[in-house]
Structure 1
Amino acid sequence: MAWRSLPILLTCGLLLAAAPAAPAVPFRPVRALTFNIHTGIGEDGRLDLARTAAVIRDSGADIAGLQEVDVHWAARSEFADQATELARMLGMRSFFAPIYDLPPLTEGAPRRQYGVAVLSRFPILRAENHPITRLSTQDPDPVPQPMPGFAEAVVLARGIPLHVYVTHLDFRPDPAVRAAQVADTLRILDQDGRRARQVLLGDFNAEPTAPELAPLFGSLRDTWPGPDPGLTYPAAAPAKRIDYVTVSPTLRTRDPAVLASDASDHRPVRVTLRP
């Protein structure tokens, strides 16, 4: 099933919040994946969403953050609802957060949307599409301004609320918009409180030493260890690390891996989370 209304809060979440405090629940490991799916188009230029789903399935991910997701967007993806289709193929829940939401090309067709998505094997208690600073690719004369497309889904991961965020930062060489996006991201994450378990998954479009990412890594931990560079882009012969799994200090991690795949122009990154 998929959710798009903003924000969403399930009744069971309210009941849980009102109930007496329960004994601490051991938090068993959870696998998290970030994957820029390139709208289902692989390195061979062929659209194959089943191939995308197979990569996510084979990774063993419990939670996946996806970037470059089309929902009725264009002929390149056959106007499919990719968020819903991937959730169906994988037996997962989904939340889609559009960056762009445009009228259809033909009367009566669904609206055209493009953005990021969360897939989860666990219940999604609530979800929200946060605005952050963006420079539109659809406006012929864009200026930086708040736009949606920063997804948050609070999932009940083995009985423990886990705040999962998915982002896709600006791709341009000028880092100014990315720097503003990092500041917006930290402001939003601060609203969860210091004890929250947070995971930020995304294509940051910048390498780890980029100055604009430094404030982010001051609050969240980059889960990739050295000395392996963990290169993710381009998928055929990776030369850059721009895809990340980052976590709050309340979580430990193990077994980080960049997964070889030709299902996209990016390689996915998988990390196991522990409390």
Structure 2
Amino acid sequence: MIHALARSSPTTALTLLAALAVAAAPTSPAAAAASQSLTVLTYNIHHGAGADDSLDLDRIARVVKDSGADIVGLQEVDRHFAARSDFVDQASWLADRLGMHLVYGANINEDPARSGGSRRQYGTAILSRFPVLDAHNTLLPHPREGEQRGLLAADINVRGTTVRMLNTHLEHTSQTERLAQADAIDKVIDASGRPTVLVGDLNATPDTREVTTLTKHLRDQWRAVGDGNGYTFDVSNPRKRIDYVLTSRGIGARSADVLDSDASDHLPVRAEISVP
């Protein structure tokens, strides 16, 4: 099942389904026994270009497969976008290769390169081993006219439990824009009152205002259960932690690690969480 989501108004509300129990503390052994484990991955794939600058989408697929992830948030995903990715629909290619359900959010959506061709799109994707119940992409504010970014949302049926997955990629050139985008995401989370998993490349380190805006209502899985600095960028000399798995109340923390791979310019982050 493929959900292809085009451009929508930044003010459009996310209408999604979710029902999860609420619990603020990390998962205890007793609680873990009564919950189910879910492995989540976030990965900025740099349109399939690795540290060697070679385009190799199969390397990305192998990283995702080897991670054992149940749900994956991908950033910098091309769809018929440019010669840099051979005009391939990377989102569908990866979903087919991995046998996973797909949701795609086109944050840049341009006319075809040639008459009769497919629209040129660039954005984020969610891959899931479990069925997708509902999905929506909301464009985020960019007050200084930076690159358009979005918040991709999918409600996923995980063995009878509805899990909301959000995926984003904040602006890299302007803290002003990142703050506006983080505020917009925080309002969505706060207004919904529903447990959520947010993944993505926030282009900001943990103690910056844009990240702390999001961690007012969400827990940083790395800080809860990760070991070490968690650096994810850049792959040749990791020195920044800018890729995150954040969760709201009701979702427990089991483990978090950064995977070693040169398939992109970012390292992927994997987190094992627990849901009712």
- The two structures share one fold, judged by TM-score above 0.5: yes
1:127-146 paired onto structure 2 within 5 Å: 127-134=135-142, 143=145
**What is residue 153 of structure 1 aligned with on the other side?**
154
1:100-115 paired onto structure 2 within 5 Å: 100-115=108-123
Deviations 1:197-216 (A, max 9, x none): 31000000000011222121
**What is residue 190 of structure 1 aligned with on the other side?**
190
TM-superposed CA distance for 1:84, in Å, is 0.5
Asked if the contact 2:146/2:171 (under 8 Å) is kept, the reply is no
Q: Which runs of 5+ in 2 are unaligned?
A: 9-15, 20-33
**What is residue 43 of structure 2 aligned with on the other side?**
35
Q: How many Å separate the matches in 2 of 1:118 and 1:271?
A: 15
TM-superposed CA distance for 1:103, in Å, is 0.1
**What is residue 236 of structure 1 aligned with on the other side?**
236
Asked if the contact 2:230/2:241 (under 8 Å) is kept, the reply is yes
Q: How many Å separate the matches in 2 of 1:184 and 1:115?
A: 18
Deviations 1:101-126 (A, max 9, x none): 00011111100000000000000000
Code of the residue aligned with 2:60 in structure 1: it is T
TM-superposed CA distance for 1:5, in Å, is 4.3
Structure 2 residue aligned with 1:126, among 131, 134, 140?
134
Code of the residue aligned with 2:150 in structure 1: it is G
Code of the residue aligned with 1:95 in structure 2: it is V
Code of the residue aligned with 1:260 in structure 2: it is D
Q: How many Å separate the matches in 2 of 1:181 and 1:5?
A: 19
1:134 match: secondary structure: coil
TM-superposed CA distance for 1:144, in Å, is 6.3
Asked if the contact 2:227/2:257 (under 8 Å) is kept, the reply is no
2:135 match: secondary structure: strand
Asked if the contact 2:132/2:155 (under 8 Å) is kept, the reply is yes
2:265 is equivalent to residue 265 of structure 1 = yes
Q: How many Å separate the matches in 2 of 1:233 and 1:198?
A: 25
Q: How many Å separate the matches in 2 of 1:204 and 1:148?
A: 11
| Number of residue equivalences | 251
Asked if the contact 1:97/1:129 (under 8 Å) is kept, the reply is yes
2:179 is equivalent to residue 179 of structure 1 = yes
Asked if the contact 1:161/1:197 (under 8 Å) is kept, the reply is no
Q: How many Å separate the matches in 2 of 1:130 and 1:143?
A: 17
Code of the residue aligned with 2:162 in structure 1: it is P
Identity, in percent, stands at: 43
Structure 2 residue aligned with 1:206, among 200, 204, 207?
204
Code of the residue aligned with 1:181 in structure 2: it is Q
TM-superposed CA distance for 1:249, in Å, is 1.6
- Aligned CA RMSD, in angstroms, stands at 2.1
Code of the residue aligned with 2:161 in structure 1: it is I
1:56-95 paired onto structure 2 within 5 Å: 56-95=64-103
Normalised by the length of structure 1, the TM-score is 0.86
Mark the CA change 1:133 to 1:91 in structure 2 (over 3 Å): closer, same or farther. same
Asked if the contact 1:129/1:148 (under 8 Å) is kept, the reply is no
Asked if the contact 1:245/1:269 (under 8 Å) is kept, the reply is yes
**What is residue 139 of structure 1 aligned with on the other side?**
none
Asked if the contact 2:190/2:217 (under 8 Å) is kept, the reply is no
Deviations 1:8-50 (A, max 9, x none): xxxxx99x99xxxxxxxx6410100000000011001111111
Asked if the contact 2:156/2:164 (under 8 Å) is kept, the reply is yes
Q: How many Å separate the matches in 2 of 1:88 and 1:215?
A: 36
TM-superposed CA distance for 1:132, in Å, is 1.1
Q: How many Å separate the matches in 2 of 1:206 and 1:175?
A: 8
Code of the residue aligned with 1:272 in structure 2: it is E
The runs of 4+ residues in structure 1 deviating greater than 3 Å are: none
**What is residue 164 of structure 1 aligned with on the other side?**
165
Asked if the contact 1:97/1:148 (under 8 Å) is kept, the reply is no
Q: How many Å separate the matches in 1 of 2:195 and 2:3?
A: 22
Mark the CA change 1:148 to 1:240 in structure 2 (over 3 Å): closer, same or farther. closer
TM-superposed CA distance for 1:148, in Å, is 5.9
Q: How many Å separate the matches in 2 of 1:268 and 1:148?
A: 20
Deviations 1:216-261 (A, max 9, x none): 1111011113661100000122010000000002111111000000
